[in-house]
Amino acid sequence: MLERLGHLTYTRRRWVLAVAGVFVLVAIGWGTSVFSRLVGGGFNDPGAESTRAATVADQTFGRDAVDVVVIYSSPTLTVDDPAFRSAVTSTLTALPKADVAAVFTADQAPGMVSADRHSTYVAIRLTGHNDSQRQDAYDAIKSQLAAPGLHTLRGGAVAINEAINKQVTADIGKAEGISTPILILLLVLVFGGLAAASLPLAIGGLAILGAFTALRVISIFTDVSVFAINIVTMLGLGLAIDYGLFIVSRFREELALRGGGRDEVQAAVVATMRTAGRTVLFSGLTVALALSALLLFDLPFLRSMGYGGVAAVLVAMTAALTVLPALLSVLGPRVNALRVRVPRFGRRSRPVLHGPTGASSSPEAVPQHGVWYRIATSVMRRPVAYVVGITVVLLAMGLPFFGVRWGSPDHRALPVGAEARVAGEVLSSTFPQSSTSPITAIVTLHRPAAAASADLAAYTARLEKVPGVTGAEVTGAVGDHARIEMTYTPDPASTDGRALVAAVRAVPDPTGAQVLVGGFSATNADTLSAIGRTLPWATLWIVGGMLVLLFLAFGSVVLPFKAVLMNMLSLSASFGAVVWVFQDGHLSGLLGFTSVGSVEATQPVLMFAIAFGLAMDYEVFLLSRVREEWDRTHDNTRAVALGLERTGRIITSAAALLIVVIGAFATSGVTFIKMIGVGVAVAILVDATIVRALLVPATMRLLGRVNWWAPAPLARFYARFGLREGAGGEGTGDAAHTCQQPAAQRADHAYVTMEG
């Protein structure tokens, strides 16, 4: 299939590029309009008890949520001074009724005044039936909220979401501004020329625009979180550069092997697609499979990340397998144009042609002096020591994760000094008894509330006795529904806050009644429950899918399980680093964030999907060349050493480029985006160095020929249907079977390897 695709992209190269050009124009004109359709939030489970409680309350009592909190203060005036009161009253009275549903002031709740009486806050409920409409309402009034002569701070859920959305958009531009110059420099160092270096960047831009267009289509049918843009930029650019690096490198090798002439371009393109193209195909499928697990979760945030991630990976893969070969077909030998003199570290790769029996036509066919070959052979001389030592180190790096405390995003996710964050901090410190986040019990009595007043009073009294609850009051009764609101002492986003929700839910319901407990703390508890409920199935989906794909790629039932275990080790180190940095606060000054003593619960799930897929990406790169050499020699040790020699430089270069792209998001002003950047960058660094260069060779040396074992029925299935790079360009089916024959029976085949 890929060989035919190689022929097609060569013979129809101008048509392919023309279609790509039209697609780019559509993506720029229509696809980028997705930014105006993205929504904030998405961290809550739509089917949770807290969500159902909010739905019943809105239908019965009308919506009572607080959307915006505005804090007014003065260093000289108190809230009792006429000037202070007049400034606040005139400001609130002038707000348009079309955008403001209700305003609550200290006249209704004395607790809305600070102890020194120099500050007060007002709670505003906006009009609109959904988040988008309420955001529009806030945009219309936010400039009118400043009271003359008073210091004004705007906060609350809608203001925080708006600030995060703007910060995310700004962070994308900032990350691209940081990463692009570094990427160009690294690509020039890797390729030694501007022409070749520009191709992966071109595919990266196409992948991002294509993923934006895919999200624009998806947004027609469902809400898409604004945070999906981050994963599109990370993975679209990062993986496109990875795939571009792999295909361009292989094309240059194949072209050089054939003499580098224009007449050999088609053969080089076809050979590249048959080998590197097959690897890119499997790599893209593995990463997309890992990210598709996010679609299993009920949380819109994780689903949106799944939409964006899968779209970015598939578009990057498709562009690398179609547009990039067409560009190479047009450039041909000019891919090496615009050479730049750069320092060379180690030996350069040289194509070596192996004859019919696998013997090289050059005395230097076996790169026994290359740095990666030497590393592999050194590791495989002491495999037990390396396996034990590295495993202990990685597990030790993961130990902090056992002390993880889960939290939820709030105003502290914003940068220090952001207005919405300052408002949240002032609200917590100056108005500790504020009731903007009460625990709410919605009671369905199945009889008029007036007739059940005694039962309601008894239930309210029981709620007041729950440790941590400071007060409980019936705040509404309509028909057979009643609403009870509770104030409490724990931080709503803390572990104690979630434990309090569990204690409230454990209180016996009134006789014959049904109770739904909601509120901010209840929503947090339900979110964690939703993640924990789905996580085992998502893990099973990822691991099971990887086992199947890796078997189809390499024909072994041992290597897939080994790969999964290796990934788990590198992920443990990454998760430990995230807890050590973001929960415990180490490096907070350097990275510019405030530790809140917890980790936002959705981020490790997202990191797991991204990092697991990327780790398999490099596993496929490495094992493709190892399998190729194994088919040729059936010498496991030699196959591992040569495989690492031929891919080590590409894998480390690809990892460095991807770390630059993803690591740039560590500069984000939003803490949980920063967390993804740091966590995934650590996972890539550990995986591409310690795991791929040291642990994988050591374990493969210990397993020996067992690496390639499969039960006889599966071996026959793989021989017939296996999809992988063929040694020396072999394909699938019968060709794959031929590759497994002894060298003496393969006298009509030639094998290409690369030194360096």
Q: How would DSSP label each residue in 454-481?
A: HHHHHHHHHHHTSTTEEEEEEEEEETTE
Q: Which residue has the tokens 């006429």?
A: 82
Q: Locate tokens 């010498």: which residue? A: 635
- As a whole number of Å, the CA-based R_g of the chain is 30
CA-nearest of 334, 318, 344 to 265 is 334
SS3 category, 69: strand
Tell me how far CA of residue 85 lies from CA of 141, 149, 183, 282, 436, in angstroms: 20, 11, 57, 67, 22
Give the span between the Cα atoms of 370 and 346, in whole angstroms: 7
Q: Which residues of the chain have pLDDT under 70?
A: 41, 260-261, 342-369, 432-436, 449-451, 722-756
**Residue 748 has what pLDDT?**
36
Residues facing 516 on adjacent strands? 442
Predicted local distance difference test score (pLDDT) of residue 741:
36
Return the pLDDT at 434. 54
Contact yes or no for 292/29 (Cβ under 8 A)? no
State the pLDDT at residue 451.
Answer: 62
Q: Would you give the distance in Å from CA 742 to the centre of its chain? A: 45
CA 359 and chain centroid, separation:
46
Q: Cβ-count burial of 254 within 10 angstroms (0-12 exposed, 13-18 middle, 19+ buried)?
A: buried
Alpha-carbon gap, residue 367 to 374, rounded angstroms = 9
Q: Are strands 469-478 and 481-488 parallel, antiparallel or unpaired?
A: antiparallel
Residues 157, 124: Cα–Cα separation, whole Å:
11
Q: Do residues 282 and 546 make contact, with C-beta atoms less than 8 angstroms apart?
A: no
Phi first, then psi: give them for residue 494, nearest 5 degrees: -90, 170
Burial of 588 (0-12, 13-18, 19+ CB in 10 A): middle
Write out pLDDT tens, residues 148-159.
999 999 998 889
User: How far apart are alpha carbons 725 and 455 in whole angstroms?
Assistant: 73
**Contact by Cβ (8 Å): 306, 292:** yes
Instruction: Name the H helices within 222-333.
Output: 228-257, 265-272, 278-292, 300-321, 323-331
* Token output for 513: 């009644």
Look at residues 152, 167, 134, 139 and name the one whose alpha carbon lies nearest to residue 66. 134
Q: DSSP of 495-521, one letter per residue? A: HHHHHHHHHHHHSPPPTT-EEEEESHH
Are 101 and 84 a contacting pair, CB within 8 Å? no
pLDDT of res. 614: 85
- Looking up tokens 């407990």 gives 517
Relative to beta strand 350-354, strand 151-155 is: unpaired
Q: Which residue has the tokens 């005694």?
A: 454
Residue 40 backbone phi and psi in degrees, to 5: -90, -175
What's residue 440's pLDDT?
Answer: 92
Kindly report the length of the chain.
756
CA atoms of 546 and 536, how far apart (whole Å): 15
Cα 276 to chain centroid distance, Å, stands at 26
Q: Tokens 């509770």: give the residue.
A: 486
Please give the Cα distance from 183 to 16 (Å, whole number): 26
Burial 257-281 (b: 16+ CB within 10 A, else e): bbeeeeebbbbbbbbbbbbbbbbbb
Domains of the chain: 2-39+163-348+369-401+526-755 (no CATH), 67-155 (3.30.70.1430), 438-518 (3.30.70.100)
Instruction: Say what the pLDDT of residue 432 is.
Output: 63
Helix (H) or strand (E) holding 89: helix 82-93
List the strands of the sheet with 100-104, edge to edge: 100-104, 119-126, 68-73, 151-155
| Amino acid (one-letter) located at 217 | V
pLDDT tens for 676-687 read 889 999 999 998
Catalogue the E-assigned strands of 539-591: none
